[in-house]
Chain A
Amino acid sequence: MKKAIYLVLAFVLLVLSACGNGTTTNTTSNNETTKSTETTETTETTETTDSKEINLYTARHYDVDDTLYAKFEEETGIKVNVIKGEADELLERIKREGDATEADLFLTADAGRLFRAKDEGLLQAVSSDLLDEQVPANFQDKDQMWYGLTKRARVIVYNKENVKPEDLSTYEALTEEEWKGRVLIRSGENVYNQSLLASFIEINGEEQAKEWAAGIVSNLARDPEGGDRDQAKAIAAGIGDVAIMNTYYLGQMLNSEDAEEVKVAEGLGVFFPNQETTGTHVNVSGAGVVKASKNKDNAIKLLEFLSAPESQTTFAEANYEYPVNDSVESTELLQSWGEFKEQNISLSALGDNNAKSILIFNEVGWK
């Protein structure tokens, strides 16, 4: 018995004293170690690219993504290793892992986060003719640090019974008196809303963007709560008449297993705002190759695969997102909502103005 406890204690001590040393060293000499490994690492990375693996950090959680990775594996024999998490947390992990990171590709559902990754120096430029052909220039980073893979539009959804499409025109018009107590939108904590406001800051300037946010707050039917789907349901419940939400949520509701959700979605119309003016807000899901990637070629291959027509169709069919690849016809449902004019701004602006939009939300009391 006594031997056993000594063994356990010895083991514990061994493991833990090792940890103890490590952590103390880390706090004191972290910078030095980073520098010293930097030089050795970078020489290694450029050479070892013929491996049969790619490591992906992704903030997209959809099942359809897994299906596509499996297909990629099958076609190329390159194994896709995945860590799924939240965008900012994954970014922080890549940042702290520095040059030692195992991540090759960072995939997320918001251009603002891609901009942030680039801004922090976590991505590298890659070029490929195939990518340029498949992803239009306005959905790529101008320095080729990231590429858009799917498009999502943030539109106005309305109650078909008491709102006519003629009543609607622009995002800005929703701040007018006639919409008092009728507008639904989720919390300002949500990144889709941050990017929406960031686009307004880019197009109209900070002052007007702030006026818009304040106008929406004073027209809200209720304090922001829930997700995009909940705004649609609130229209059905008669709490408000119009909601700002992403189209693919409506697609998901129309195809829900729950008959009640389908009924809610069928009572709603989709309106693409600002068609006569600045265009409807679009955002992208996209990915960029991590700067310290050890499997850069494979990462590019995966990017090419995901933007190829076949994958683009799969995204559209399974997740109701708009393809970025022009050569792909969108699905019947997406076509039924109609063609639309998009905002003509650099998507990087969404990231550039992200912090400003948070400050505005706080200042105008958009919860």
Chain B
Amino acid sequence: MQRKLANVNAWTVSATVIMILLFLPNLTIVMGIFTPTNENWAHMKEFVLGSFIKTSLILVSTTATLTIIIGLSLAWLIAQYQFPLRGFLKWALILPLSIPPFIGAYTYHGIVNYTGVIQTTLRRLGIEVNHSFFDIMNLGGAIFIYTLFLYPYVYTITRIFLSQQSASLIESARMLGKGPWGTFFQVVIPISRVAIIGGASLVVLEVLNDYGVVKYYGIQTFTTAIFQTWFGLGDIESSIKLAASLMGFVILILMIEKLLRGRRQYSYSTTKVRPLPLISLKGWKARIATGYGLTILSLGFFIPIAQLVDWTILTFGTIPISQYLSYVSNSIMVAGLSATFIILFAVIVGNFSRLVYGKTAKLLPKLSILGYSIPGAVIAVAVVTAFIGLDRFLGPLYQFLGINTTLVLSVSLIMLISAYIIRFFAIGYNAIESGYDKIGTDFRDASRLLGVGLTKTFFKVDLPMLKGAIISGFILVFIDVLKEIPLTLILRPFNFDTLSTKAFQYASDEKIMEASQASLLIVAISALAIVIFYKFLEKEPN
């Protein structure tokens, strides 16, 4: 009995510590709400905030709707039907996630602008075109970009849910004579609500915190306001206050999500997770299914990749290749380390939240998602502040060790990796939490009844069933860190370059062609990770 109690404490204590740490830097931002307003704030409110907020709302709601439509329909096709190329599309449809949205934005603009391949070809053929038809740099264009490169969040989460969990419900619906549309609207959408909302909320947060795309396309969103007060007016207090309001908005979304989830009970009913038997599509129906999947994949992956390859060939040799070796290894190292820590923490916190009854334990981990809604540059300031404080605190220890400088941790990779952990914990946690949800607590209770300790139960019972979630969480975080820009730029130590900082460096100087090589490498590594992930998951059912 004594030992069991100790176990509970270890889980609880470490989970609490992790959550506090993840939340602390955000506290700097939350406190921003209480700073008094000044004339800059008044100016922003009078002239720009209204229209910025409106633009943000349109951007976020339209993107969320479109990603749900595309993500859900693809997930449903793949989970329910057999058609040509299904096996390939199943994993390939995740690939657009490997392209950072800002690179996608530059690339698409490169394709459709005056010197781009489309207009150039048309001119050669002697066709006069209305240029404004090809203008992608507007609100519609930004929605297009975000939808194409972010829909995989909805697709991945929903597909895994549908193919692993819904078999019995959908089969019952089929048996009771529901047609495909009836099944889709009356069964699939209601039961996969959690997965859909989970994916879509990641999309929403990602759109809210992104600055690269909207800045280049000249669209003024709430994020623009944050940076305008900071960079333009030099008033970081007001900009943190704006970021804090954004956080408040996100808390609201989270609460709504919680309400929408309502009471749910979706855990496995048996130990055998049966895949859904596939219905074969024939003739034109099969062609439409394949065509639809390929169209989305081409728009979100093959077309931009073709353009990037073209640019890489054009600029090949202008940048010494030898340097890329260190960028690649740096990128993989930080992404791998951060993903490992995040998953480890998420597993601990997730297990804690499952073991403890009560609403607070369920809600607390959700708060750690807050950081995800805020532009990385603002988080970075909070992290720098925290680490400089930590370094000063550890000063006596450094002196004891014979280190003569004040800043040790904050000029090392530890600061950068901690920042990644704070920022992307939500992504890893979402995956792990849904994994725990699927397992439920029945197996654990059985194991405990048989007298097995909590920790042993975790390793023998829960962990094997959690494997899929762990890997999918790891891959998602890994790719996100590979693509990350603002934190890496601000928090990196001296002489530390990654593929994404390199791609950004060229793109920000309007040298998109030179940026193509680093971008392609990011995509290649992410794609490789996705393929490995897929191979692993495929083995799962056996």
Contacts and interface: CB of A to CB of B under 8 A. Distances in A.
Interface of A: 1-2, 5-6, 8-9, 12-13, 16-27, 30, 33-34, 37, 41, 44, 55, 61-63, 81-90, 92-93, 96-102, 116, 186-187, 189, 191, 194, 222-230, 233-234, 236-239, 249, 252, 256-258, 260-261, 263-264, 354-355, 358-359, 362-363, 367
Contacts of B115: 233, 236, 258, 260-261, 263-264
B393 A26 contact: yes
Contacts of A18: 390, 394
Contacts of B230: 88
Nearest to A228: B510
B48 A362 contact: yes
Contacts, number: 222
A257 B388 CA distance: 44
B138 interface: yes
Contacts of B24: 20, 23-24
A56 B109 CA distance: 34
A198 B386 CA distance: 35
B374 to A, nearest CB: 14
B59 to A, nearest CB: 15
A32 B489 CA distance: 29
7 contacts: A12-B345, A26-B385, A92-B236, A222-B132, A225-B217, A230-B113, A263-B115
Of the candidates B233, B386, B405, B509, the one having the most CB atoms from chain A within 10 angstroms of its own CB is: B509
Interface in B1-29: 10, 13-14, 17-18, 20-21, 24-25, 27-28
Nearest to B214: A189
B226 to A, nearest CB: 12
A101 B10 contact: no
Contacts of A354: 232, 234
A355 B233 contact: yes
Interface of B: 10, 13-14, 17-18, 20-21, 24-25, 27-28, 40, 43-44, 47-48, 109, 113-116, 119-120, 131-132, 135, 137-138, 215-218, 220, 224, 227-228, 230-234, 236, 314-315, 318-319, 344-345, 348, 377, 380-381, 384-395, 404-407, 410-411, 418, 455-456, 459, 486, 489-490, 492-497, 501, 505-506, 508-511, 513
Nearest to B137: A225
A227 B105 CA distance: 13
B495 A82 contact: yes
Contacts of A264: 114-115
Interface majority SS (helix, strand, loop, mixed), chain B: helix
Contacts of B493: 83
A61 B505 contact: yes
Given A100-B407, A358-B232, A26 B392 contact: yes
Nearest to B459: A1
B489 A84 contact: yes
Contacts of B318: 257
Nearest to B381: A92
Nearest to B11: A9
A2 B456 contact: yes
